[in-house]
Structure 1
Amino acid sequence: MDLELSGRVAVVTGASKGIGLAVARTLADEGAYVVAASRTPVDAKATHVAVDLMDPQAPARVIARAVEEYGGVDILVNNAGGPPPGVTLPRVGFMTPGDADWQAMFEFNLFSAVRMIRAAVPVMIERGGGSIVNISSGSARQPGAMNVDYGAAKAALNHVGKAVSEEFGAQGIRVNTISPGPVLTHWWTKEGGAAEVIGGMAGASKEDIVARVAPDMMKLVTGRLVHPQEIADMVALLASPRSASTTGAEFAIDGGFLKEL
């Protein structure tokens, strides 16, 4: 199926690894011009913009680079998120994160996306519209004692996506949200990452956490963590003009993590 993405300009944040890298590669494979924003280089066919999205000025620089290189922006994928730089998750208990932790979590997972959208919307309007895809989390709708600050930031991102889709839909801008469950990325597998942290709590090896304990703990009906490419494929579809009537929607790609109707 032709997704009609050839020649379109896509900005992807957090594009150096995991979901973001899979998204950047997939959009490039579909013929899009990709501007990849990340702190480290990107192993994909893309124009790399080296930025730290904790810097409030960074989003405007990324969009300006896309305009300079390709004349505009048609697609924005707000993928950057998760633990802020230098932070290790999971954190257990509401009392664990302090004010600085909450502020950093919202800065990285909410405000960076807000600023990217703010910078991209006028450019998209000039081109007659565009597609924004926000990468949220199942934690936004599944509150619990683990990573409460992260879940709260993602819940706010869901709200922003709905609000922007409503305000700018008549001007051709679609905004949709993808809520992944646990995805098999570097965040889980790196040294000192989530698998090792949970393994220390559960008395299990990193490999066993990834293969069995985490899927069981999160009651994943598929019995495995989500693959980054599965998220990237949905991003490509939502970015495509073939999804022209899809806006303000949220899609759970989570192996059955969310149980609610």
Structure 2
Amino acid sequence: MDLQLSGKVAVVTGASKGIGLAVVRTLLAEGARVVAASRKTTAELDALAGADLVHVPVDLMDPEAPGRVVARAAEEFGGLDILVNNAGGPPPGVSLPRFGFLTPDDTAWREMFEFNLFSAVRAIRAAIPLMLQRGGGAIVNVSSVLARQPAPMNVDYNAAKAGMNTVTKALSEEYGPQGIRVNTVSPGPVRTAWWTEEGGAADILAAATGAGRDAVLDSVAPEMMKLTTGRLVDPQEVADVVALLVSPRSASTTGAEFAVDAGFLKES
């Protein structure tokens, strides 16, 4: 299927690995021009280098950074059609999961909201005027199924993502009549660096359960989370949904939330 993205200009945050990298790769393959934002580049992102890709090294904890990234799209490619707010998860220097409501203090809560909600709000604020200049655009906010089914862990993260879902709905109502579609993709547990890096979720759960880290990734975590598919989600499976949502093929889809969660959510 031709997603009709050739020549479109996109900004993708959290673009150096995991879901963000898969989104960048997919949009480039569909002919889009992409500004990829992340604190550091990676060999995988560097392998995509070309005239249609610009990497902007930024720390999105800096309140000015999202606006600089969006401005770079206008400078390099003349405007903006697509914004994918993918950056999220543990703020720099933090490892998740974190158990119990009393564990995160005020600083932890502030950092979590800065990274997972406020950075997206700031990017959207900068993007909307550029999209309106082009007669519309598409925004996808990457949230989490934990925004809808919270648990007694990562409570600050879950709350930030619930806020993102609310922002998405409000934006879709306000700007839909002006041609800007805003949707949410809510992944379940995805096999990304959050899980696989040393000291990440696999190691934390291995220590908590007494299982090996490979067993956590392959069976313990899927069983613990009652994943219908029996495995963690692949980043490309999320990227494919994002690409469809930012495509003109989804012209009548706005204010919606799509779970890519291996069957984690059980309600209808």
Q: TM-score, normalised by structure 2?
A: 0.97
Alignment of 1:129 with 2:129, yes or no, is no
Give the structure 1 partner of residue 182 of structure 2: 175
The residue aligned with 1:19 is: 19
User: Equivalent residue for 1:10?
Assistant: 10
Say whether 1:223 aligns with 2:234: no
1:195 aligns with 2:206: no
Q: Which runs of 5 or more structure 2 residues have no equivalent in the other structure? A: none
Which amino acid in structure 2 is aligned with residue 3 of structure 1? L
Q: Which of 210, 221, 237 lines up with 1:214 in the alignment?
A: 221
Counterpart in 2 of 1:37? Answer: 37
Give the alignment partner of residue 103 of structure 1, picking from 103, 110, 120.
Answer: 110
1:244 paired residue among 247, 251, 255: 251
User: How far did residue 260 of structure 1 move?
Assistant: 1.3
Per the alignment, in what secondary structure is the counterpart of residue 35 of structure 2?
Answer: strand
- Measured after TM superposition, the shift of residue 144 of structure 1 is 1.2
- Kindly indicate whether residue 85 of structure 2 is the aligned counterpart of residue 72 of structure 1: no
Matches within 5 A, 1:146-157: 146-157=153-164
Q: CA deviation at 1:112?
A: 0.2
Instruction: Determine whether 1:205 maps to 2:212.
Output: yes
CA distance in 1, matches of 2:94, 2:198: 13
Q: Deviation above 3 Å: which 4+ runs of structure 1?
A: none
The aligned counterpart of 1:142 is 149
Unaligned runs of 5+ in 1: none
Find the aligned partners of 1:17 and 1:4 in 2 and give their Cα distance. Answer: 25
Separation in 2 of the partners of 1:146 and 1:222?
23
The structural deviation recorded for 1:143 is: 1.4
How many angstroms apart in 1 are the aligned matches of 2:101 and 2:70?
36
Shift of 1:181: 0.2
How many residue pairs are counted as aligned between the two chains?
Answer: 261
Task: Provide the identity percentage.
Answer: 71
The aligned amino acid for 2:72 is R
**Residues in 2 aligned to 1:148 and 1:142: alpha-carbon distance in whole angstroms:** 11
1:172-213: per-residue Cα shift (whole Å, max 9, x none)?
Answer: 000000000000011101111100000000001110000000
Aligned partner of 2:56 among 49, 53, 65: 49
Indicate the SS of the match to 1:174.
Answer: strand
Q: In structure 1, what is the Cα distance between the partners aligned to 2:99 and 2:149?
A: 15
Aligned to 1:164: 171
Farther-moved stretch of structure 1 (39-48 vs 198-207): 39-48
Q: Secondary structure at the match of 1:108?
A: helix
Cα distance between partner residues in 1 of 2:247 and 2:163: 25
Match of 2:263 among 249, 256, 260: 256
Letter in 1 for 2:189: P
Q: CA deviation at 1:142?
A: 0.7
Shift of 1:2: 0.5
